[in-house]
Amino acid sequence: MALRTLITRKTLGLGLQSEARNLGFGFRHARELQTFSLPDLPYDYSALEPVISGEIMQLHHQKHHQAYITNYNKALEQLEEAMAKGDSSTVVKLQSAIKFNGGGHINHSVFWKNLSPIHEGGGEPPKGSLGWAIDTNFGSLEALVKNINTEGAALQGSGWVWLGLDKEMKKLVVETTANQDPLVTKGANLVPLLGIDVWEHAYYLQYKNVRPDYLKNIWKVLNWKYASEVYEKECP
């Protein structure tokens, strides 16, 4: 299962790169359009209970994330057609759908890796260089948690709250993004270490309108191991 996730991640990377290349050309060579597919979760749907219910995990993964992927693929197909025809107004018109659905795919792909069952280390505080970086940037882990929870609760509408790494400045930041905007829309050098989905679909069935409770509890299943890996890769 882990292998499949890896391949999908590479595919995602490739897809994004080739898209960037294509947009620079006025015409393009015949090429097979990359389609994206739903990555498997590294754990069962019920593995994060009682913090996040199995029902939410299943809907979130099989319906919401899948819908973003389906619509992302559709938008990319339409983009390819429009580019081939030189139809600039359609190309530009599709950008919001690509940003929304592509962003949704990116964000949720990170999110599944940000979560981990308690018995697999979910919730265990970060050690090593990320732990020190948190203390340096925020004073303590508690302060960081409080900061993120405050930002997440105050976010109006739908969006995400992130712990990000500015890889240029080697600084940790807390940021929020609206709707499905990926963290990189807040800064080209920002790399997501942890993201928390605060769209209502992420918690409503269980926590109803009490988003602060969801935020308080989700730390029990946050995967600091993954965050540390990403951090250490960018800041060796």
Partner 1 sequence: MRVSRHCKLLPCCEETKDFTQDSIIGITQGEDICLWVCFVLDLKSAKEAIKEGCMLESVGFLAGDALCLALLAQEMLVLVQDALEPYMSQRTLEIHWGKHHRGYLEGLNKQLENNNSLYGYTMDELVKVTYNNGNPLPEFNNAAQVWNHDFFWESMQPGGGKIPGHGVLLQIEKDFGSFTNFREKFIEAALTLFGSGWIWLALKTKEKRLAVIKTSNGVTPIVWGDIPIISLDMWEHAYYLDYKNDKVKYVNMFLNNLVSWNAATARMARAEAFVNLGEPKIPVA
| Nearest Cα residue to 41 out of 71, 14, 61 | 61
Q: Does 209 bind partner 1 (CB under 8 A)?
A: yes
Choose, by CB under 8 A, the member of 28, 63, 127, 233 that binds partner 1.
63
181 labelled ligand-binding: no
Q: Which is nearer to partner 1, 63 or 146 (CB)?
A: 63
Name the one residue in this structure whose structure tokens are 């029902």.
55
Angle value at C-alpha 149, between 218 and 161, nearest 5 degrees: 85
Helix (H) or strand (E) holding 63: none
Mark the segment that binds partner 1 (CB under 8 A) among 14-22, 40-48, 60-68, 143-151.
60-68
Site residues for partner 1, window 68-97 (CB under 8 A)? 96
Of 8-16, 30-38, 46-54, 56-64, which segment contacts partner 1 by CB under 8 A?
56-64
CA distance 55 to 49: 10
The whole-angstrom separation of Cα 76 and Cα 36 is 10
Strand order in the sheet with 171-178: 171-178, 159-166, 190-197
Contact letters for partner 1, residues 149-188 (x by CB under 8 A): -------xxxx------------------xxx--------
Number of residues that bind partner 1 (CB under 8 A): 20
Binding residues for Mn(2+): 60, 108, 197, 201
